[in-house]
Amino acid sequence: MSENRYCPHCGVALTATLGPPDSGWGALLVCENNECAVFKGSNENIKYKPGDSPLGCRYAEDVDGGYKPFNMLAFRGF
């Protein structure tokens, strides 16, 4: 990938990563900014999860899918 892509929510450059083996995901671009509005507010936006769950979402793009954006489940820590 030759061009840099940026999170539309915070402007930080997206980090290239590969999806887990056997997941069907290929190359992904992920916003790893812990101050991004998507990540900071995601703890409250996930339905049907226990209130003390450390899960949240990060903005991500599917490179092989034409850079289609999606919210990637992420560990927020305790």
Position 8 in a domain: no
Count how many domains the chain has: 1
Position 27 in a domain: yes
Containing structural domain, residue 47: 15-75
29 phi/psi in degrees, rounded to 5: -115, 130
CA distances from 66 to 1, 26, 55 (A): 12, 12, 27
Position 2 in a domain: no
Position 52 in a domain: yes
How do residues 29-75 score in pLDDT, each as one tens digit?
999 998 998 887 666 666 666 666 677 889 999 999 999 999 888 87
Position 30 in a domain: yes
Assessment of whether the complete model's pTM goes beyond 0.85: no
Position 22 in a domain: yes
